[in-house]
């Protein structure tokens, strides 16, 4: 069982990354740091998926720090999508830095992805300000293979395992960081020892749909589903605050994100598979001197509560059935043909919805007078050629109107996060799920398949 759940959203992987790659240079000429980084940094090869897919390097923008026997270059490194985390002892944002160390005619590159302790200021934009930072980091080579870790604490950088690959880096960072520390005030309380904790990480890919208008403005992003990618487990030294009571076992959930972008005008409302061409014939099996049962169905666009299916771009469907004894028909309202626009009117038609899947339904018995009212209204609407409009008169409007005529008292089914002004099948499902079961009726919130027609 996980002791502490940490959630990282939008491409997050909690680590500090260092990368090692060596190249001989002529110290009598100008050092081409940008060219060194371009030739040796292989982000796409990294075993850290956030580094592989979510980092940008500004090769031309770097800071130069000259030391006694070496020079450190800080190259600008940013995330394309900001990563965040939730933790009892870590701050929510990650920080990245790309360092190049020049020493004895050799260039060595280091890529840093930094954790910040909750009692610290964030990892600074320059190594000269480390006196206000406390955190820890993991070490990778320039191809993204993890080597080791370092700990930042009280203006000091250390490697608990004394890895020789990191000694030059650590020594020169400490020299640079301590050049100006006497003029600064410490804000991190000292602790006697660092602590060793076990860190387990579970990786997921989250899939989102982004909707934009014709002008390219993003109207919203909706989560679709997650896929588990695997897990890792390792140990890390961290500079705990002195008063920390955090568990020694740290479980991190790392979420990357993948996006599919659609224009709002591409959302599709499909015509019926089988159109009802004669409504009077379609309903002629009912005895209008007797009562019946009306069922209203909601079919969400996906298994989630989203406004349309990201693959078909369909917003779902609302429909009804009428049952009297063994006689039953199912029908819904559609545009007469596929409508690719969310604005304007288009000819409407009723369709045969037998065997249509649904996610929720609600049923109520009606008397003969109400049955006459429903049947005559459907025949009149079909004969008069009513118009379909996704904003003002769509499938949900028809199903909800009939539900209200028979006494179900539907509230509005307009989604608070929709991209058009009309009612939606997704919100209709939510409404049905929260409605009371009517007297003498029934409610289904687990879903199923609508009945086959039997109208002989």
For 190, which DSSP code? P
What pLDDT is recorded for position 187?
42
Mean pLDDT check: name the lowest of 96-110, 171-185, 253-267.
253-267
Q: What is the total count of domains within the chain?
A: 2
Q: Residue 87 has what pLDDT?
A: 67
CA–CA dist 294, 279 (Å, integer): 17
Structure tokens at 426: 């997704």
Considering the domain boundaries, does residue 223 fall inside one? no
CA distance 355 to 328: 12
For residues 182 and 40, state if they share a domain: yes
- Note the helical H segments in 253-367: 279-282
* Residue 142 maps to a domain: yes
pLDDT top residue among 357 and 182: 357
Q: What pLDDT score was predicted for residue 422?
A: 80
Query: Are 282 and 170 within one domain?
Result: no
Task: Please check the confidence at residue 282 and state whether its pLDDT lies above 50.
Answer: yes
The pLDDT score that the predictor gives to residue 60 is: 81
Residues 37 and 143 in one domain: yes
For helices 395-405 and 425-434, the axis angle rounded to 10 degrees is 30
C-alpha separations of 456 from 98, 287, 328 in Å: 76, 12, 10
Is there a domain that residue 203 lies in?
no
pLDDT over 50 at 24, yes or no: no
Maximum mean pLDDT: which of 160-169, 375-384, 422-431: 375-384
Q: Kindly indicate the confidence band of residue 258, based on its pLDDT and cuts at 50, 70 and 90.
A: low
Identify the band that residue 192 occupies on the pLDDT scale cut at 50, 70 and 90. Answer: very low
Residue-number span of the structural domain to which 118 is assigned? 5-197
CB-side exposure of 13: number of CA atoms within 13 Å? 28
Residue 36, classified by CB atoms within 10 Å of its CB into exposed (0-12), middle (13-18) or buried (19+), is buried
Gyration radius (Cα) of the chain, Å: 32
**Higher per-residue confidence, 163 vs 282:** 282
235 inside domain: no
* Cβ neighbours of 441 (radius 10 Å): 18
| Of 5-14, 113-122, 198-207, highest mean pLDDT | 113-122
Closest CA relative to residue 314, chosen from 330, 334, 296, 343: 334
In the block, residue with structure tokens 């005619």: 105
Of 142, 177, 197, which marks where a domain is finished?
Answer: 197
Q: Both 192 and 271 in a single domain?
A: no
Q: Are residues 145 and 276 in the same domain?
A: no
> Looking at 280-398, which runs of residues are DSSP E strands?
292-299, 317-324, 327-335, 346-352, 357-358, 360-366, 387-388
When pLDDT is averaged across residues 53-75 and rounded to a whole number, the result is 88
Tell me: the pLDDT tens digits for 402-415?
A: 999 999 999 999 87
Q: How many CB atoms lie within 10 A of CB 191?
A: 17
Instruction: Find, among 103, 13, 88, 108, the residue nearest to 54 by Cα.
Output: 13
pLDDT of residue 361: 97
Instruction: Check whether residue 21 and residue 150 sit in a common domain.
Output: yes
Residue 221 forms part of a structural domain: no
Direct distance between the N- and C-terminal alpha carbons of the chain, in angstroms, rounded to an integer: 59
In a domain, 454, yes or no: no
Q: Is the pLDDT of residue 357 over 90?
A: yes
Per DSSP, the residues of 3-60 read: SSEEEEESS----------EEE--TTS---HHHHHHHH--GGG-SSHHHHHHEEEEEE
Residue 432 is assigned to a structural domain of this protein: yes
**pLDDT above 50: residue 29:** no
Q: Name, in order, each residue with C-beta under 8 angstroms of 442's C-beta and a sequence gap of 6 or more.
A: 362, 363
Regarding whether 174 and 272 lie in a shared domain, the answer is: no
Q: Which of 253-267, 274-288, 320-334, 392-406 has the lowest mean pLDDT?
A: 253-267
CB–CB of 257/10 below 8 Å? yes
The stretch 205-219 carries a mean pLDDT of: 65
**Last residue of a domain, which of 151, 174, 197?**
197
Residue 279, pLDDT score = 96
Q: Which residue has the higher pLDDT, 420 or 91?
A: 91
- Residue bearing the bigger pLDDT, 391 or 188: 391
Q: Are 428 and 320 in a shared domain?
A: yes
Choice between 405 and 7, residue whose per-residue pLDDT is larger: 405
For residue 396, what are the CA distances in angstroms to 87, 229, 294, 377, 423?
Answer: 43, 38, 15, 16, 6
321 and 177 housed in the same domain: no
The pLDDT confidence band at residue 343, using thresholds 50, 70 and 90, is low
Does residue 183 register a pLDDT over 50? no
Task: Report the b/e string of 343-378 with b at 16+ CB within 10 A.
Answer: eeebebbbbbbbebebbbbbbbbbeeebbeebbeeb
Give the separation between CA 173 and CA 101, rounded to whole angstroms: 10
The CA distance from 88 to 288, in Å, is 67
DSSP 84-147: EE--SSB-SB-EEEEEEEEETTEEEEEEEEEEEBTTSBPPPSSGGGGGGB-EEEEEE-TTS-EE
The count of C-alpha atoms lying within 13 angstroms of the C-alpha of 273, restricted to the half-sphere facing its C-beta, is: 7
Q: Could you read off the pLDDT of 218-241 as tens digits, one per residue?
A: 555 566 677 887 777 766 666 655
> Residue 251 contacts by C-beta under 8 Å, 6 or more apart in sequence?
2, 3, 4, 5, 6, 199, 200, 201, 202
Pairing of strands 5-9, 249-263: parallel
26 with 36: CB under 8 angstroms? no
Q: Are residues 380 and 289 in the same domain?
A: yes
% of the chain residues with pLDDT over 70: 69
**Same structural domain for residues 186 and 284?**
no
Torsion on CA atoms 215, 219, 224, 227, rounded to nearest 10? 70
Contact between residue 389 and residue 345 where contact means Cβ atoms under 8 Å apart: yes
pLDDT interval class at 451 (50, 70, 90): very high
Among 163, 197, 231, identify where a domain stops: 197
CB 208 within 8 A of CB 257: yes
Given this model, what pLDDT does residue 257 score?
64
Task: Check whether 286 has a pLDDT greater than 60.
Answer: yes
Q: By mean pLDDT, which of 10-14, 78-82, 91-95, 296-300 is the weakest? A: 10-14
401 vs 179, residue with greater confidence: 401
pLDDT of 144: 78
Q: Do 308 and 177 fall into the same domain?
A: no
Q: What mean pLDDT, rounded, does the chain reach? A: 78
Is residue 257 a part of any domain in this protein?
no
Report residue 156 as tokens: 């000091």
* Band (141; pLDDT cuts 50, 70, 90): confident
């Amino acid at each position: 069982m996980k002791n502490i759940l940490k959630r990282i959203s939008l491409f997050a992987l909690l680590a500090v990354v260092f990368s090692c790659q060596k190249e001989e240079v002529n110290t009598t000429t100008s050092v081409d740091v940008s060219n060194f980084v371009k030739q040796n940094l292989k982000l796409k090869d990294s075993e850290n998926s956030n580094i592989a897919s979510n980092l940008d390097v500004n090769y031309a923008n770097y800071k130069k720090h000259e030391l006694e026997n070496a020079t450190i270059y800080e190259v600008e490194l940013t995330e394309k999508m900001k990563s965040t985390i939730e933790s009892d002892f870590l701050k929510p944002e990650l920080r990245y830095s790309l360092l190049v160390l020049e020493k004895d005619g050799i260039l060595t590159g280091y890529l840093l992805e930094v954790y910040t302790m909750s009692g610290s200021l964030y990892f600074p934009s320059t190594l000269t300000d480390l006196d206000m930072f406390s955190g820890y980091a993991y070490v990778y080579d320039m191809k993204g293979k993890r080597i080791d870790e370092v700990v930042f604490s009280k203006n000091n950088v250390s490697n608990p395992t004394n890895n020789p690959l990191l000694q030059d880096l650590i020594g020169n960072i400490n020299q640079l960081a301590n050049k100006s520390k006497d003029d600064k005030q410490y804000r991190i309380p000292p602790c006697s020892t660092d602590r060793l904790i076990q860190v387990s990480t579970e990786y997921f890919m989250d899939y989102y749909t982004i909707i934009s208008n014709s002008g390219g403005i993003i109207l919203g992003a909706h989560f679709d589903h997650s896929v588990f990618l695997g897990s890792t487990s390792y140990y890390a030294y961290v500079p705990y605050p002195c008063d920390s009571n955090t568990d020694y076992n740290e479980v991190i959930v790392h979420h990357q994100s993948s996006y599919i972008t659609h224009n709002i005008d591409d959302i599709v409302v499909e015509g019926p598979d089988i159109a009802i061409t004669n409504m009077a014939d379609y309903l002629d099996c009912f005895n209008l001197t007797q009562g019946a049962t009306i069922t209203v169905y909601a079919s969400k666009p996906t298994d989630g509560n989203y406004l349309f299916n990201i693959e078909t771009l369909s917003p779902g469907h609302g429909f009804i059935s009428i049952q009297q004894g063994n006689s039953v028909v199912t029908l819904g309202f559609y545009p007469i043909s596929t409508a690719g626009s969310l604005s304007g009117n288009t000819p409407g038609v009723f369709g045969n919805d037998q065997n249509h899947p649904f996610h929720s339904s609600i049923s109520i018995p009606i008397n003969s007078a109400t049955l006459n009212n429903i049947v005559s209204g459907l025949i009149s609407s079909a004969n008069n050629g009513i118009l379909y409009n996704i904003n003002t008169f769509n499938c949900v409007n028809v199903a909800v109107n009939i539900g209200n005529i028979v006494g179900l008292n539907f509230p509005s089914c307009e989604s608070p996060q929709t991209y058009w002004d009309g009612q939606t099948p997704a919100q209709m499902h939510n409404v049905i799920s929260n409605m009371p079961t009517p007297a003498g009726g029934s409610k289904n919130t687990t879903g199923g398949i609508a009945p086959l027609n039997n109208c002989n």
